[in-house]
Structure 1
Amino acid sequence: MWHELHQLGSTIRQQADLAEEAQLVCDEMARRARQNVEVIVERLSADGYRFHANDDEQTPMTPHAAPTATAAEHADWLQERFDAVPMTLRSWVRLVGDVWLVGTHPQWPTSASADPLVIELEGSLHADFPSIRDYFADEWNGWRERRAEDASAGVFVLPLAPDRFHKENVSGGSPYGMVLPDGCVDGLFAAETTMPFVSYLNWVFDHGGFPWPTESSSQWRVRRELARDLLPL
């Protein structure tokens, strides 16, 4: 299904009936993703997992914030501000919310090094973050300035998560995020490699929210339990 939708490209938006059906597919994807996130958070909490920021103090963090009352309006703002955003991203904003799985597992002290899932589109998990819109707009304007000076500046990536090194509180590379503008049903998510957003999410959920290779059999068992019966997207 996702392959067929990819083949339609951005032209799908010119066909109202198809676009509406595609958005419904994306909405169902987001509902399944939210259920997976909630299951992972519940299982981690039961294990005594400490959700915390990627800082020296390991400041406690809320792992999942549901979409706010203005999530749909925020999705519209993203669409207008960046010319076009993928339907899957709009669905995530409206139906999933912000996710932060960085932390420490009692049976897996190095769990933060396994690239735990983080997606932040509303900025609701950080009380000290005055406006994620200002942050996104500044990143966009900075890229446009660089692009005007150097045509080889590359594509714009909307920053949605720290890279796997920063999640572990060590120096790393550029943030993970979505390549924009993109008017397709599903977009490209730039992480360790660049792949369709839904493919990235399926890969993450296949590994219980921690996709980077583990170091021992005990860590493998933790991930296997976290991934048990999660829904494919």
Structure 2
Amino acid sequence: MTEHLDWVDRYIAGEQRLVWHELRQLGSRVREPAFAPQAQAVCDEMARRARSNIETLVTRLREQGYRFHENNDDQTPTEPYTPPGPQAEEQVHWLEQRLGLLPMVLSSWIRIVGDVWLVGTHPQWPSSAAADPLVLELEGSRYPDSDIREYFAEEIETWKEDQDEPFLLPVAPDHFHKDNVSGGGPYGIILPDASADAHFVGQVGMPLVSYLNWAFQHGGFPRPTGDQAQWHVIRQLTKGLHRL
């Protein structure tokens, strides 16, 4: 593959889909010295675009009167986005020490993006939580009074007792729990994984970047029900968002 040295330039120029295809085709070979620097640079650029999209969505939702809250009966107000804290790089190493290599996009997300929680209620769209709002919590910056590592450590210990299946790092409640309804297990990411992109397991399994693009294409709500008011909101939210 002779074009890998142009991955970043091609990605920025608009060839995102083809660049991701090439990176995924490499699998764990993406870690080889000939590929790794450019591949990680693409993942970092993806994360910067995702962060910009999240900041834009939070601003637009607030302007529309959206209330960000927890998925509980009291609908406790909460911050929807917190950038990475000083422990972000350490968080990457902590996970790798316990699970092996992380996908490059996961490392980029933890270091550059932080945590996002778009659960809430829209004045024009009261059932917005049912549309599976984007949630991705890996770095723990949204919980300053607790340590997300304790939660991850418990999940890892439980998995070690019965390793019949790959470890699924929990990163978000499922769409039922986001709507404060009992449902299935959390969404997660399969680890370890030495690839560039991660494998995200939600309603279906797909590459993490594909899931994020799907979410941003729907204004952060990837399960719209087709309600007319809903689509009006989504059209306003999606204008000018970056493709990852």
- Asked if Structure 1 and Structure 2 have the same fold, meaning a TM-score greater than 0.5 normalized by the shorter chain, the answer is yes
Q: Which runs of 5+ in 1 are unaligned?
A: none
Alpha carbons 2:218, 2:224 under 8 Å: kept:
no
Q: 1:209 aligns with which of 207, 211, 220?
A: 220
Partner of 2:48: 31
When normalised by structure 1's length, the TM-score is 0.94
Tell me the alpha carbon deviations over residues 133-154 of structure 1, each in whole angstroms, 9 at most, x when there is no partner.
Answer: 121111011111022xxx3xx2
Distance in 1 of aligned mates of 2:28 and 2:54: 29
Give the alignment of 1:50-65 within 5 angstroms: 50-65=67-82
**SS at structure 1 position matched to 2:162:** helix
Answering whether residue 152 of structure 2 is matched by residue 136 of structure 1, we say: yes
Among 62, 73, 83, the alignment partner of 2:100 is 83
Q: How far does the alpha carbon of each residue in 1:105-124 deviate from its partner, in whole angstroms, 9 at most, with x for none? A: 00000001000000011222
Deviation at 1:80, TM superposition (A): 2.0
- What residue is the counterpart of 2:202 in the other structure? 191
Correspondence for 1:4? 22
| Aligned positions of 1:11-160 closer than 5 A | 11-13=29-31, 15-128=32-145, 130-147=146-163, 151=164, 154-160=165-171
Unaligned runs of 5+ in 2: 1-18
Sequence identity percentage: 58
- DSSP 3-state at the match of 1:12: helix
SS of the residue 2:155 aligns to: helix
CA distance in 1, matches of 2:209, 2:71: 25
The one of 195, 199, 211 aligned to 1:200 = 211
Query: 1:177 is matched by which residue type in structure 2?
Result: G
Decide whether the 8 Å contact of 2:137 with 2:171 is kept in 1: yes
The count of residues paired between Structure 1 and Structure 2 equals 226
Using structure 2 for the length normalisation, give the TM-score: 0.90
Question: 1:10-51 CA distances to partner (integer Å, 9 max, x unpaired)?
Answer: 1221x2241111000000000000000000000000011000
